[in-house]
Amino acid sequence: MTLQHVVLFSFPEELSAADWARMQEYVRAWPTEIGGIDKLRLGTAIDAARTRGYQYLLYMEVADVDALVGYQQHPVHREFLQWVLDRDCTPLAFDYHLDPATVIL
Protein backbone atom coordinates (compact mmCIF):
# COMPACT_ATOMS: atom_id res chain seq x y z
CA MET A 1 0.00 0.00 0.00
CA THR A 2 1.42 3.38 -1.03
CA LEU A 3 2.80 5.62 1.70
CA GLN A 4 3.28 9.35 1.77
CA HIS A 5 6.36 10.68 3.56
CA VAL A 6 6.41 14.41 4.36
CA VAL A 7 9.24 16.22 6.13
CA LEU A 8 9.33 19.86 7.20
CA PHE A 9 12.75 21.40 7.83
CA SER A 10 13.38 24.25 10.26
CA PHE A 11 16.90 25.64 10.11
CA PRO A 12 17.94 28.29 12.66
CA GLU A 13 18.61 30.64 9.73
CA GLU A 14 17.96 30.60 6.01
CA LEU A 15 20.27 28.34 4.06
CA SER A 16 22.91 29.98 1.93
CA ALA A 17 22.51 29.63 -1.82
CA ALA A 18 25.26 26.99 -1.77
CA ASP A 19 23.59 24.99 1.02
CA TRP A 20 20.19 25.15 -0.71
CA ALA A 21 21.82 23.92 -3.91
CA ARG A 22 23.50 21.10 -1.97
CA MET A 23 20.21 20.10 -0.34
CA GLN A 24 18.61 19.89 -3.78
CA GLU A 25 21.54 17.82 -5.09
CA TYR A 26 21.11 15.32 -2.29
CA VAL A 27 17.38 14.90 -2.92
CA ARG A 28 17.66 14.79 -6.72
CA ALA A 29 20.11 11.89 -6.42
CA TRP A 30 17.75 9.67 -4.40
CA PRO A 31 15.70 8.15 -7.24
CA THR A 32 18.89 6.86 -8.86
CA GLU A 33 21.00 6.14 -5.79
CA ILE A 34 18.33 4.86 -3.40
CA GLY A 35 15.46 3.84 -5.68
CA GLY A 36 11.97 2.79 -4.65
CA ILE A 37 10.66 6.36 -4.75
CA ASP A 38 7.51 6.93 -6.81
CA LYS A 39 7.07 10.70 -6.32
CA LEU A 40 9.50 13.25 -4.95
CA ARG A 41 9.23 16.99 -4.40
CA LEU A 42 11.26 19.58 -2.49
CA GLY A 43 10.29 23.22 -2.06
CA THR A 44 10.54 26.39 -0.06
CA ALA A 45 7.77 28.11 1.86
CA ILE A 46 5.86 30.84 0.04
CA ASP A 47 4.84 32.61 3.27
CA ALA A 48 7.28 32.00 6.11
CA ALA A 49 4.95 33.68 8.60
CA ARG A 50 2.49 30.79 8.20
CA THR A 51 5.02 27.96 8.57
CA ARG A 52 6.11 28.60 12.17
CA GLY A 53 9.79 28.49 11.33
CA TYR A 54 9.74 25.63 8.83
CA GLN A 55 11.33 26.86 5.60
CA TYR A 56 11.48 23.72 3.43
CA LEU A 57 9.23 20.76 2.68
CA LEU A 58 10.03 17.32 1.27
CA TYR A 59 7.19 15.26 -0.21
CA MET A 60 7.68 11.64 -1.20
CA GLU A 61 5.56 8.65 -2.11
CA VAL A 62 6.84 5.09 -1.83
CA ALA A 63 5.19 1.73 -2.46
CA ASP A 64 5.07 0.42 1.11
CA VAL A 65 6.64 0.36 4.57
CA ASP A 66 9.56 -1.74 3.33
CA ALA A 67 10.42 0.91 0.72
CA LEU A 68 10.22 3.65 3.37
CA VAL A 69 12.48 1.73 5.76
CA GLY A 70 14.91 0.99 2.92
CA TYR A 71 15.09 4.70 2.13
CA GLN A 72 15.51 5.67 5.78
CA GLN A 73 18.33 3.17 6.32
CA HIS A 74 20.13 3.79 3.03
CA PRO A 75 23.61 5.33 3.45
CA VAL A 76 22.76 8.14 0.98
CA HIS A 77 19.77 9.17 3.11
CA ARG A 78 21.77 8.85 6.32
CA GLU A 79 24.43 11.17 4.86
CA PHE A 80 21.73 13.70 3.98
CA LEU A 81 20.16 13.46 7.44
CA GLN A 82 23.55 14.05 9.06
CA TRP A 83 24.09 17.06 6.76
CA VAL A 84 20.72 18.45 7.90
CA LEU A 85 21.41 17.83 11.59
CA ASP A 86 24.91 19.35 11.31
CA ARG A 87 23.14 22.61 10.43
CA ASP A 88 21.06 22.49 13.64
CA CYS A 89 17.92 21.76 11.67
CA THR A 90 14.78 20.53 13.38
CA PRO A 91 13.10 18.13 10.95
CA LEU A 92 9.49 17.08 11.45
CA ALA A 93 8.46 13.91 9.60
CA PHE A 94 4.99 12.48 9.03
CA ASP A 95 4.20 9.22 7.23
CA TYR A 96 0.81 7.74 6.39
CA HIS A 97 -0.89 5.28 4.06
CA LEU A 98 -2.60 6.52 0.92
CA ASP A 99 -5.84 4.55 0.88
CA PRO A 100 -9.59 5.17 0.45
CA ALA A 101 -9.75 6.60 3.97
CA THR A 102 -6.99 9.19 3.40
CA VAL A 103 -7.23 10.12 -0.28
CA ILE A 104 -10.02 12.69 -0.52
CA LEU A 105 -9.60 13.81 -4.12
What one-letter code names the amino acid at 40?
A: L
Distance CA 89, CA 103 (A): 30
Identity of residue 9: F
Task: Read off the pLDDT of residues 39-70 as tens digits, 9 standing for 90 and up.
Answer: 999 999 998 789 999 999 999 999 999 999 99
Check: pTM over 0.85? Answer yes or no. yes
Task: Give per-residue pLDDT as tens, 9-50.
Answer: 999 999 999 999 999 999 999 999 999 999 999 999 998 789
CA distance 72 to 91: 14
Query: Which CATH topology does 3-97 take?
Result: Alpha-Beta Plaits (3.30.70)
Per the CB < 8 A criterion, the answer to whether 7 and 77 are in contact is no
* Whether residue 75 has pLDDT greater than 90: yes
